[in-house]
Structure 1
């Protein structure tokens, strides 16, 4: 499976990103990585690119937008541009990925052909309190497989979403882009999950 990890930076050098540092320290490898600098200043990515351990990453890409593009634009940019990926993992620049992050992603689904979207647990690394995903307003404590016919729906934040190509293909029949460009930041993730109500999708949390 071709996995592409996208990390969005804002007002931060690559080496100061908690997400990137924890990613490089993680044993997971053999993926494509795109780092997007969303401004406001240019950054030098060549030093980082040269420091990537050999064999860790298949392909490294860097993009830069100095005008602080909306997250909806950036997410759609990644999904539309890197079409060789079988799944996209979207991350912000200050998340701590624990040692089992990728292991849990791969082990919590019966088959890559049976999932459209995964929503990892978002936990405060200081208090250990789980905030997302939420189902019917409450944190999902156990592994949960969503059925789009259910009355209630769950929601989460954009960072950490694992989007499979199957979801992208299903959405194309209804929407021009996966993420609603009417939302700049806070509505991006909620709007996507709301749209999934209309589709037959399999979501694991």
Structure 2
């Protein structure tokens, strides 16, 4: 039975309202005695003491860290890994429903990487496959302690800290594909709220993805990514949004997300 850290990023959501936390707790059983649920509260409001007390009465294997600055997810992931050496990890947003089947699968997983089938609006959305290899999202991703050691031998960190939110998964799977690291696809699915699919047009999110993809082009080049950048570029040209285009150009040149802020 694996010792697993379930690393959950809480963002402007109450602990009791998180689908990820609720589903993990509901699936918890006696075989999880050496596993932990670590919650990083990355939203604006503190998790109150009474709420922490209530959740720990339900499950004593829970730890909560108050970040409160909307911090970089890549840095939070890496810090969680650094503080819990020897563990295997499952990374989760706060809005992912983890099925009992997938939960039990990661506890007994012998793979270094396990990718769940990610379902949104009754559609299988991830993983996707291109000529360059596999691509998925980090929510629901399982990685072993062995993989952590392998990736830190390539680089000092598992996740590329040049990316705060968007681009983290692109960078991670580029390393997996480049180094031909074996992975398994789960036969079980997770229900995940993919905001860009469920909430219609969101210009802010589209800008952030555009900047992250532009920053990824040089270090993590592939034709699928190039196609995304070019397609989005034409959208911003049509909108005459030259500030975003310039930010994307600077991000491309510097290989990190750079935002040009409007000054008064």
Bucket of the pairwise TM-score, normalised by the shorter protein:
0.7 to 0.9
Matches within 5 A, 1:12-27: 12-27=13-28
- Note the 1:192-203 alignment, pairs <5 A: 192-203=172-183
Alignment of 1:55-134 (within 5 A): 59-85=61-87, 87-105=88-106, 112=110, 115-124=111-120, 127-134=121-128
User: Within 2, Cα distance between the matches of 1:134 and 1:45?
Assistant: 41
Structure 1 residue 25: Cα displacement: 1.6
Cα distance change, pair 15–200 in 1 and its aligned pair in 2 (3 A): same
Range moving further from structure 2, 4-13 or 27-36: 27-36
Provide Cα deviations, 1:181-203, integer angstroms capped at 9, x if missing partner. Answer: 11111100110010123324221
1:202, 1:192 → 2: CA distance?
14
Normalization by structure 1: what TM-score?
A: 0.80
Report what 2:133 is aligned to: 153
Once residues 143 and 63 of structure 2 are traced to their aligned partners in structure 1, the CA distance between those partners, rounded to angstroms, is: 19
Go from structure 1 to structure 2 and tell me whether the alpha carbon gap of 1:170 and 1:25 turns closer, same or farther (over 3 Å shift): same
Separation in structure 1 between the aligned mates of residue 90 and residue 127 of structure 2, nearest angstrom:
16
Q: Counterparts of 1:32 and 1:170 in 2: how far apart (Å)?
A: 23
Q: What is the aligned partner in structure 1 of residue 150 from structure 2?
A: 170
Match of 2:7 in 1: 6
Equivalent in the alignment of 2:261: none
- 1:64-84 per-position Cα deviation (integer Å, ceiling 9, x unaligned): 111111111111111111114
Q: Which residue of 2 aligns with 1:140?
A: none
Kindly indicate whether structure 1 or structure 2 has the higher relative contact order, using CA contacts under 8 Å at least 6 residues apart.
Answer: 1
How far the C-alpha of 1:133 sits from its partner, in A, is 0.7
Indicate conservation of the 8 Å contact 1:4/1:32, yes or no.
yes
Compared CA separation, residues 62 and 53, structure 1 to 2 (3 A): closer
Tell me, yes or no, if the aligned pair for 1:105 and 1:120 is still in contact at 8 Å.
Answer: no
SS at match of 2:96: coil
> Deviation at 1:96?
1.2
Larger Rg belongs to: 2
The answer on whether the counterparts of 2:134 and 2:177 sit within 8 Å (CA) in structure 1 is no
Counterparts in 2 of 1:45 and 1:82: CA distance versus 1, 3 Å: farther
5+ residue gaps, structure 1, are 137-150
For structure 2, the residue ranges without an aligned partner over 5 or more in a row are: 186-264
| Map of 1:32 onto structure 2 | 36
Distance 2:15 2:177 in 1: 37
Q: How far 1:106 moved relative to its partner?
A: 5.1
RMSD: 2.0
